[in-house]
Every structure is written in structure tokens, then in C-alpha cells.
Amino acid sequence: MVKTNKELAFLHELFVATDWGERFAELVDEHVQLPREGRGLYLGSGTGGHAIALQERAGDDLKFLCIDENEEYLELARAKAVAVKDGTEFRTGRVDALDLPDNQFDLVLGDASLIHVKRASKMLREMVRVAAPGALVALSLPTFSSFGEFFSIYWEALHNCDLLDHESEVEQLISTLPSTAIVEGMAEHAGLEEISSWTRIEEFDYESEKRFLNDPLISDFLMPIWLESLSAKARKQVVSEIARLINEERHEAEFALSLKATLMVGKKALNH
């Protein structure tokens, strides 16, 4: 069933931000040094937990503006900010088409972990555009060879369901995820210098096919991207076959879904 944005916001807060989101947030916390003062921008801030934590760490001299595309996410974020008397500002907007002037922010963070990967390049260009010359820009996203266990089963499920016309779309899902080298190339092309990246292999373990398919991260956030080209009827058929294949192949063991969580950091060129 299709969830409302309000339902998705609560699911994100309870099940996604506390696990998936934290794995990307840890990379940022480990490798991004906050400026002592100025303005920070956080794109894809979700329900705001990580942004509020960064604001508390930064103190009053660095002020964050946080932008997300889901207003219901931001309602939860604002409520949390009020509860801790935090000055973080939350605003609705498209992360790849910002209504902001150039050269404004001393730090720009972007979480592209749950947006369609095809939008990541434009999102990065917007991040660089609004960053001040010399500012740090950091983008986090899944990279190449993430979700390989699922894609293999997905391809087999399509084949078994005689949906052969869609098999090439699995190949596109696999090949569309950029390597770290491609992400760094995107950053250089967008106008960043002193580029570095870090990748951490993460694993999500599920004790059964039901646990996997009923996990909100999978059913409500990742699966709609993976199965977006299928009709509702075909989607139901394929999901049923995916469940059968996972149950058949795991041999009483857990089904593991691997993620390559990547953080790319660079500085906006002074002359860009």
C-alpha cells in the first residue's frame, strides 16, 4: 500500500534515520570538520536528527539551514529543534534545484542516500553553486556494488516471472550506481578541489524473507526505486517470487544486504 508523506515521515524517523541514516552520519562526523563560524547548509536533512546534533556541536557561531523535499519530515525536525531549544532552520525545497543565491555557505552537506542516483550529479552541482569559495562541500551516497545480493535475486525473479523485457533495467540499476572514482570526477567537474572520499562497507541482516520485505527501509524507501518501472500487478508477482527465492537461497541463514556507504569531500575552488 502507498503510504502518505506523514506516514513515511514517522517510518523514516523510527526505522530509517536510526539505522541507515546513522551509517552515513558517522562518516560525516568522522571526516568533516565544522567551520568555527558562518552559515551551514544541510540538504536531504530528513527528520533532522543529524542536523540538530551538528548544530549543537557547532554552537551559536555556525548556523545551519536544512532543506528537505518532504514537509512532513520537516515538521518532525522542527518539533525536535524546539524541544532542545535549537536554532536550526528547516525549509522545504528541491535538493537538486535550490532557490538560493550563489556563494552563500561556509559548509554544504548533502545526503543523497535515499534520492534517485540520477539526481545526485545535479544535486552536487547545486551544492557547489551555493557554497562560498573555499568552503567545504560533502556528499554522501551509496556507490557501485551496493545491494548486489538483492539485484541478483531481482533479476532471477524477473526471469522466472517471464518479465524478460525488464531484465535490462536490473543491469541499469547496477551500472547507475557510481564508483567512488566517478563521484570524485563529478566533484571535480562541479568545481571542487582537494577531493577525498571514504567508503565503508555496511551490512543489513534479515533472519527471513518476511523480515526483509517488511522492513520499512526496504518496502517504503528502497523498493519503490528498484521496482519503479513495473506495473502494480507485475510488482506484486515479482515481490512474491523474490520472497520465495530469498527463502530458498538463504538455507536457514540470515539474508544479508550489503551497502557501500561513501562520503566525498572537497573544497570549492576560489576562482569558481
**29-47 b/e (C-beta count within 10 Å ≥ 16 → b):** eeebebbeebbbbbbbbbb
d(CA 40, CA 23): 21
Question: Which percentage of the chain shows pLDDT scores above 90?
Answer: 84
pLDDT exceeds 90 at position 131: yes
Q: Please report, as a single letter, which amino acid is at residue 193.
A: E
Domain made up of 1-143+178-203+259-272: CATH architecture: 3-Layer(aba) Sandwich (3.40)
Query: With contact defined as beta carbons under 8 Å apart, do 27 and 198 qualify?
Result: yes
Q: What kind and span of H or E run contains 132?
A: strand 131-142
Helix (H, G, I), strand (E, B) or coil at 54: helix
Look up the pTM and report it. 0.93
Mean of the per-residue pLDDT values for the chain? 94
Q: Which three cell numbers mark 39?
A: 552559515
d(CA 255, CA 246): 7
pLDDT band at 251 (very low <50, low <70, confident <90, very high): confident
pLDDT digits (tens, 9 = 90+) for 156-174: 999 999 998 888 888 888 8
pLDDT exceeds 90 at position 221: yes
pLDDT exceeds 90 at position 84: no
Query: Where would I find the H helices in the chain?
Result: 5-11, 20-31, 49-58, 71-83, 120-130, 148-160, 167-176, 180-190, 209-214, 216, 223-226, 232-250
Domain ranges (residues) in the chain: 1-143+178-203+259-272, 144-176+208-253
Which residue, 125, 175, 124, is CA-closest to 147?
A: 175
Helix (H, G, I), strand (E, B) or coil at 252: coil
- Residue 145, class by beta-carbon neighbours within 10 Å (0-12 exposed, 13-18 middle, 19+ buried)? middle
